[in-house]
Structure 1
């Protein structure tokens, strides 16, 4: 690795950015956050919680968008380098961005699911006098998190009273789908628990140890025999054939779609909050009016 190589590549990176006519970043708006923090939630300081979680969710999506845009620039810059230099530049500039972006579909689905559950729960407390301040995760030990299946099942219950509820669940479940995991060779799980696919060059996990069905010979009445898979008697096998590398172009294409799904989920959650805020305000006025009448009568 040479200092001159990295300096030259980084200059090209910024030259490419500055040559673009349209604004590079299209940040998601924080306008709704102020409305959320100023609302009269029925529990003191809850507005700071709902507002803070919404802001952090927007922060994460904006960071994801910026890193994706950086990857698009590096895709163009690397075209001007030979294989060896491009490899060095990818390791230094590109692969950390790839890892961040490729983990976002899973983490964003879980994060937005939990954020939406908290927001919907607090809205329910404000507008429904019979609603109880109880959530499924209350039974967990500190530091534990609910599984995605349980979290989204709870969220579906919390959203029943809201028009945006069904659309929010559908938007969340578009992220980190089985199709995405297949397209990326389950990058997120492999990166978190084992060895992730590489970028551009090099196969990984070329030999895998697996359990496969035991092949049993069954004799036929005509004297012939046939093999059947006995699923109750698995055996160990070593299978050749690794995970191919993902190209930077396909990473950008697949991950960009996941980013769009995440933005759609955030917008649907924002629709839920916009639906809830007027009802929260109306409920607060009703409570104040009732309290005033009681004070006058006493």
Structure 2
């Protein structure tokens, strides 16, 4: 059994910067297709609002570039209030603690947590996917099939672990996944006997392989689809990155799956929300 991977503030800052880059790029991709696509820099992070109900609507990367100036944060809150969007901050437990104190002092409330787990690369990446499941990067003509697989899988969660604090409509998820693809994620398709059984994605940046989501079509669950998607992406990233990261809900099936394949908990993000709607 490998030693647990230690995460200090420097590594957390690197991971959070990569996450912020991804959300900003996806939000800008949304703007490119005519959506709102709002991006506001704030204290080393960014406040993003892609469109109503989007998973990109949040403040990311905060807590590693100083504490936000009150007037700057107030302007962010005012801007988001103007479009009817709450301010959602995903704050690492390794961020500057003064940021959390500032947010709670301004009326932000805790609504949930998410875990960030890491796997050193190359490491033991288990290069052989489970038998019967084939995984490969999706081609330009397969984006629709990839999006359909993700939407189908995400729309029927396993309901294991802590209940999520948010849900997204299918059409919003579909558009967001296309935005992520335009932002530089590589789509992966898993097939079983020629049928599409699931999908996943990965983005390489700052020496980090971001495993940016994976879902199994419900009819193919319990066959090793997630393990196959994980093994293939780790193998593909092994010679280009020194770390793979994934974000999961606490106690979820995804958390259990990645931990079983050598991922270690690095830190948790607290999800804090301020309702700007009055």
Instruction: State the TM-score, normalizing by the size of structure 2.
Output: 0.22
By relative contact order (CA 8 Å, sep 6+), the higher-ranking structure is: 2
Higher helix share: 1
Higher strand share: 2
Q: Which has the larger radius of gyration?
A: 1
Instruction: State the TM-score, normalizing by the size of structure 1.
Output: 0.20
